Structure 1
Amino acid sequence: MVALDRSLISQLPLFQGMAPQEQSEILKGARSSRYAKDTTIFEQEAEAQSFFVLISGHIRVVRTTPDGQQVIARYISEGEIFGVAAALGRTTYPASAVAAVDCVVLAWPNALWPELARRFPAFGATIYRTVGTRLQEAQTRVVEMSTEQV
């Protein structure tokens, strides 16, 4: 396996404030994959085996309701982490991730999550902040929807 170049992540907010050696260490466990437009990266309720960072492209996060309707929950932009079920204490993905355009993604096995969060506290803290921000955005949208006039 070819080592990934640190320049892939060095400018991403998720990895800011980390020493080059730390960034290289985190990259050791990653693999790079390409996904064509409309390809599913993972399915809702599938076993969560990896977490991801989007290097290039855009991803739709899609939730399927019990009656089969699909709702776009959010869009993932370049540099964002997604599929962090392990950080949420989940064993399955809460939604599906679909490439909105051709994408390049880095993926780490979920088995590495506890070690990475322990060895690189800034990395873990940034991911938890991201999850918290997304939760706040979701709560704001729920309030907006529940208070809008019909």
Structure 2
Amino acid sequence: MELFEGLPASTLATVAAAARLRRLPKDQRIFSQGDEGVRAHAVVEGAVRIGQSGSDGAQVIIRFIGPGEMFGTVALFTDRRYPADAITLSETLEASWSEAELLDLMTIYPPVAINVIRIISKRLQEVQERVREIATQSAERRVAHAVLRLARQAGHSTIDGTAIDFLLRRKDVADIAGTTLHTASRILTAWEKAGFLVSHSQRLTIRRPAQLMAIAEDGGD
């Protein structure tokens, strides 16, 4: 788990003992945007979708959380309200720590504090990259970047290529890429016809990553 990287094995049992563990069914809401009573969360098994709603009620997908990754933690260091909704994508084993428990861990085990800073900084860098892509790149390049990021985050090798573990609706890809559902669907359909990837039961498998990389880097020209 990224939060506890660098800790000696002898301390991991103590750290784990401080966690609250819950096994949750698919489509279970873990917290809602604006909720108080914030905790630091992490996925042990399964996956979680993070979505944020605007003033008009429309929701966009911000991020997917896979095994070993944290979520909801930033709220502990801001206004102590969750900035988004968190909903399980599949049956999920979730660990969480209260603010006091996390601060105690950070005080007793300095690597935990360093890891928290590293995690938040990495997420901020990713957000900055996505904003730059939206401002400067075509929709096709943004969709390619989004699919490749998901493959790096939750991809595993199969005989057909790199399969992304998350269940992905085309709207999810559109949200992450900052484009419309129509545009994302058109692009993904064209890539399927070209043999770059295959989609089955909301699961994407990348068959020709080099072609997607070329599109992400220079539009495939």
Q: What are the Cα deviations for residues 8-28 of structure 1, in whole angstroms up to 9, with x where unaligned?
A: xxxx34323212232122122
Equivalent in 8, 19, 25 of residue 14 of structure 2: 25
Deviation at 1:138, TM superposition (A): 0.5
CA distance in 2, matches of 1:121, 1:20: 15
- Per the TM alignment, residue 87 of structure 1 is displaced from its structure 2 partner at its CA by 4.7
Q: Counterparts of 1:88 and 1:135 in 2: how far apart (Å)?
A: 14
2:31 corresponds in structure 1 to: 42
**Greater helix share, 1 or 2?**
2
Unpaired segments of 5 or more residues in structure 2?
Answer: 140-221
Pairwise CA RMSD: 1.7
1:48 touches 1:85 (CA, 8 Å); kept in 2? no
Aligned residues: 139
- Verify: 1:82 aligned to 2:71, yes or no: yes
Q: CA deviation at 1:33?
A: 0.2
Residue in structure 1 matching 2:5, options 16, 19, 35 = 16
Q: Quick one: distance in 1 between partners of 2:29 and 2:128? A: 26
Distance 1:113 1:90, change over 3 A: farther
**1:78-117 paired onto structure 2 within 5 Å:** 78-85=67-74, 87-117=76-106
Per the alignment, residue 59 of structure 2 pairs with 70
Contact kept, 8 Å, 1:49 with 1:109, in 2: the verdict is yes
Return the alpha-carbon distance in structure 1 between the equivalents of residues 138 and 19 of structure 2: 47
Higher relative contact order (CA 8 A, sep 6+): 1
**Aligned: 1:135 with 2:124:** yes
1:55 is paired with a residue of what secondary structure? Answer: strand
CA contact (8 A) 2:41 2:73 kept: yes
Alpha-carbon distance in 2 for matches of 1:118, 1:89: 19
TM-score by length of 1: 0.85
Gaps of 5+ in 1: 1-11
TM normalised by structure 2 equals 0.59
Q: Which moved more, 1:96-105 or 1:20-29?
A: 20-29
Superposition pairs of residues 52-71 of structure 1, within 5 angstroms: 52-71=41-60
Q: Which residue type is aligned with residue 131 of structure 1?
A: I
* Partner Cα separation in structure 2 for residue 114 and residue 14 of structure 1: 13
Q: Show the counterpart of 1:9.
A: none
Q: Which is greater in Rg? A: 2
Q: 1:117 to 1:87 in 2, by over 3 A?
A: farther
What is the deviation of 1:93? 0.8
Deviations 1:73-118 (A, max 9, x none): 0000100011103553331111111101110001111222221111
Name the % identity: 32
